Amino acid sequence: MRIGILTGGGDCPGLNAVIRAVVRKAISQKDEVIGIRNGWRGLLEKKTMPLDLESVSGILPKGGTIIGTSRTNPYKTEGGVDLVKKNYAQLKLDALVAIGGEDTLGVATKLSQEGLKIVGAPKTIDNDLSATDFTFGFDTAVNIVTECIDRLHTTAESHNRVMVVEVMGRHAGWIAAYSGIAGGADYILVPEIPIDVEEVCSSIKKRHQRGKDFSIVVVAEGAAFKKGDLALQDKELDEFGHVRLGGIGNKLGELIEKKTGFETRVTVLGHIQRGGTPTAFDRVLGTRFGVRVYELIKEAKFGKMVSLRGNKIVDVELKEATGELKTLDMKLYDLAKIFFG
């Protein structure tokens, strides 16, 4: 068989583990794998690269993706879908592996329904993809953020400051909640619950009243104030209808300092959360996903996505995975609230 593989949307640690697993498994069965460069754009422009044992050697601990990525949406390009189908045929693909989040796999779902033989693997540091307990990339992001919070604790305590840490999380507060709990944050703010500034400031004041001279506040980039809009870097939409978020940390920091009188500093972690070496968990999960993706192809189970349920790798319908976002489990947030203030 001739199998294509692409990675779309934001990069994240663990992508190369999936690519490596698919290639290693396929070559052991005498099948051929080619990389589609830069996500769906590669199928529009018919840009590919061969993937063999040499090309995937040493990539397991490497972040990012060796075949590149983009936020290209064929359904937003004039004639894009027909061009994808044409190039799929001209490349003589027997199957395509799409690795991505809601946007990339949303396109995969539609193309699969139109007859292309596609299987998917779930990737997003936000962990907001339905039908899987965890996506690879999430664990690495949480570990990075937790380490940063640990480092901010010491400088906050030394200067008697409030530290606001802005983390990723457009629609779901998984990163904020997990890293906030692990890092001992004194308040966690997520997109699922509007920010009550008075409540946050009251909590910080209570800490100071009992002798704590510093506080750590973790806020997801998609969190919004009560009766307020999202904080945006700009209002321009990408091809999937998303705006660029950013700035909630700075707005929140200004309000906290004004209302409490305590010196406040803001740290925006941004793309640091996406970069670098994947954790052991993400390497293993990516490897398991990659092997199972290949098995789905050999079993002719197209229109499916691999998924982690408990500790088992199972397969689900692509449309189930992309039907709706998986927002934060509020039981986890209730757990976090025990330690607020």
* Rounded Cα distance, 223 and 184, in Å: 20
Closest-CA residue to 101 (of 28, 18, 165, 12): 12
Residues 255 and 153 in one domain: yes
> Is residue 194 located within the same domain as residue 250?
yes
Whether 104 and 40 have beta carbons less than 8 Å apart is answered as yes
What is the model's pLDDT at position 251? Answer: 92
Do residues 37 and 126 both lie within one domain?
yes
User: Three-state SS for 329?
Assistant: coil
- Is the residue at 145 inside a domain? yes
Least confident piece of the model among 26-30, 161-165, 236-240: 236-240
Beta strands in 170-269 (DSSP E): 187-189, 215-220, 232-234, 244-245, 264-268
Dump pLDDT digits (tens) for 253-302.
999 999 999 999 999 998 899 888 999 999 999 999 999 999 999 999 99
Query: How high does pLDDT run on average in the chain?
Result: 91
Cα gap 62→100, rounded to integer Å: 17
Give the whole-angstrom CA distance, residue 187 versus residue 233: 24
pLDDT tens readout for residues 63-101:
999 999 998 999 988 899 999 999 999 999 999 999 998
Question: Which residues participate in catalysis according to the annotation?
Answer: 126
Range of the domain at 208: 140-275
| Nearest CA among 53, 65, 44 for reference residue 22 | 53
Looking at residue 161, its pLDDT comes to 86
| Tens digits of residue pLDDT in 302-313 | 999 999 999 999
- Please check the confidence at residue 24 and state whether its pLDDT lies above 50: yes
Last residue of a domain, one of 275, 293, 313: 275
pLDDT band at 25 (very low <50, low <70, confident <90, very high): very high
**202 and 247 assigned to the same domain:** yes
Residue 293 in domain: yes
Q: How far is CA 24 from CA 51, 94, 297, 314, 337, in A?
A: 10, 18, 15, 20, 45
Q: How many domains does the chain have?
A: 2
Quote the CA–CA distance of 283 and 287 in Å, as a whole number: 6
Looking at 217-226, 238-247, 262-271, which range is the least confident one? 238-247
Average confidence (pLDDT) over 134-154: 95
Judge whether residue 240 has pLDDT over 50: no
Looking at the fold, whether 8 and 52 belong to one and the same domain comes out as yes
Residue position matching structure tokens 């806020």:
219
Residues 133, 144 share a domain: no
Express each pLDDT in 172-213 by its tens digit. 999 999 999 999 999 999 999 999 999 999 999 998 888 888
pLDDT-based confidence at residue 324 (cuts at 50, 70, 90): confident
Give phi and psi for 290, each to the nearest 5: -60, -45
340 found inside a domain = no
pLDDT reading at 243 higher than 70? no
CATH number of the domain enclosing 230: 3.40.50.460
Verify that 154 and 270 share a domain, yes or no: yes
pLDDT for res 22: 98
| Residue 193 is assigned to a structural domain of this protein | yes
Does 238 score more than 80 pLDDT? no
Distance CA 305, CA 135 (A): 12
**Same-domain check for residues 292 and 269:** no
Burial of 193 (0-12, 13-18, 19+ CB in 10 A): middle
Residue 66's pLDDT is what? 96
For 168, the token pair is: 């990723």
Determine the pLDDT at residue 157: 86
| 8-state DSSP, 279 | P
Per-residue pLDDT, 231: 54
